Amino acid sequence: MKMKFVIVFAVLLLAAVFARPGKKKPHIIFLLADNSGWSDVEWNDPIGVMKTPNLKKLASTGVILNQTYAQPICTPTRAALMTGYYPFRSGLGHAMIMPSQPSYLSREFKVLPEHLKELGYTNHLVGKWHLGACRWDVTPLWRGFDSHYGPHHGYIEYYTQSISVEDQESELLGQDPGATALDFHDNTGAMFHHQGTHASELTGKRAVDIISRHNSDTPMFLWMTFLLPHFPFMVPDRYRDLYSPVPVDGLQEYRGMVSMLDETVGNITNALIANDMYENSVIVYLSDNGGPWFFGTQWPLRGGMATPFEGGVRSPGMVHSPLLEKTGYVNNELIHVVDFFPTFLSLAGGTPDPKLDGKNVWNTISTGAPSPRTDMLLHFDTHPVSPCTAIRYGDYKLIHGRYDVMRNVTDIVDQTPTDTWFPPPELSDADIPDVHAPKDGTQLFDLSVDPLEINNLADEMPDKVAELLALADVITAGAPDPFYPDLMPDIADPNAWYNGTWTPGWC
């Protein structure tokens, strides 16, 4: 009888041990700004005008990312994050997807939320998608997200939530944008009834609502893809008025948009705390590319959005989490946006495919350990209008070919010196290096001594140029052609066929 009791007790003890809940999977909150420059956050601001207290608090008590890179423009960055592969592999490395373009992230790529769904996560996308929406099965609800609230395409007018039929950039460039149509969705439904409210007020409130209603025992992935501070430059007065007027049209509004974004970050953080999710959350903030050239938002870095210079691809970023082992420091290790796919997948308990371009950088961020990568492909495009390779290996960076990424969208870049340095108006007397690069050429920089990319070493170091080009050839071997089909405005016309809304189903 005594032996029987011992056996029963042992069985119960073993059952209790194996029944103990394992380590809880973390909530993953990825905050992605849209066209926000290097100096838009307080910790990089050289003149002390920006007001981003919530981001600053998270960064100063977390980890500031000082050598983290994105792609030069938005669609490629999103493709990299969602797939774990450099965007040229999915054909999306050339330019952004236009509303009437039958282009999309191919379903042959299993995207991050699809993996996380298998690991027990609930996934939400709040904000823009911009990975194709000409048919339903390539939109968020068919790619692992449980909800999507926001636009499918690249940007919207904030109060009407509409976008032009053909050319996203035409309004900015003073051209006729054509007819406009609504692009704001609550899952599959068009959202007409909120017109008149700033779209970022809507998305900020939805993100907080999602967190507040979430069962904290279930791991959550929230991809908050801000519309801010992408043009058109419009913001409620209370944010614009945080900044003094400046003699640059739109800049006061732009800065106010950054502060509006920052307030939303604070609201999201408070919601995580209130719902008992914060202690088990990982919060990441990056921008999808650099800021607009003409505002000086990336000063003192060279170039800006849509270029592979540092001002176009070096992203202001931070990671904040109670799960970090080391906090309150600046991380100078090499990290690329593509790395967050395997990093998040590993945190969630998954096993990343070793063939991914991305590397798991959690240990690098959490402890300050050396990065698992020594090189990164910053841009690769074989489209005939803008062929270019940009690669970093150690401290050396090579730009070879046409550095104006936006050339397919508008030829205005042919007349625009996008390779220069753009100081903010407060530094209008700043010394600008008298250096320009040919629109097609080869440039080599040693960033360890020349982080502003002033001194082109290509002629002095031909062997280093050849070495980096050979490395790029190895990485890009077998690259598919860019997936950049012609626009189909007649078939896609939302006003002719779809009741004035951008609606999938026409390709």
CA nearest neighbour of 318 among 52, 47, 46: 52
Instruction: Specify whether 185 is catalytic.
Output: no
Pair of tokens at residue 38: 């290097």
CA nearest neighbour of 281 among 121, 108, 172: 121
Backbone angles phi, psi at 283, to 5 degrees: -110, 125
Instruction: Specify whether 74 is catalytic.
Output: yes
Distance CA 290, CA 459 (A): 28
Peptide bond into 87 cis (omega under 30): no
Rounded to the nearest 10 degrees, what angle do helices 251-274 and 199-213 cross at? 10
Strand residues in 15-146 grouped as ranges (E): 27-33, 63-65, 68-69, 122-127
Cβ atoms of 396 and 359 within 8 Å: the answer is no
Alpha carbon of residue 163 to chain centroid: 21
The region, left, alpha or beta by phi > 0 then psi within -120 to 50, assigned to residue 38 is: alpha
Cβ atoms of 120 and 345 within 8 Å: the answer is no
Instruction: Compute the Cα dihedral for 136, 141, 188, 499 and give only its sign.
Output: negative
Cβ atoms of 354 and 315 within 8 Å: the answer is no
Q: Which entry of 130, 148, 230, 379 is annotated as an active-site residue?
A: 130
Instruction: Compute the Cα dihedral for 36, 417, 377, 298 and give only its sign.
Output: negative
Contacts of 174 (CB under 8 A, 6+ apart): none
CA nearest neighbour of 121 among 227, 203, 215: 215
Q: Which entry of 27, 74, 124, 152 is annotated as an active-site residue?
A: 74
The region, left, alpha or beta by phi > 0 then psi within -120 to 50, assigned to residue 499 is: left
SS3 396: strand
Cβ atoms of 161 and 182 within 8 Å: the answer is yes
CA nearest neighbour of 204 among 269, 118, 286: 269
Q: Please, which residues bridge with residue 148 across strands?
A: 125
Residues classed as catalytic? 74, 130
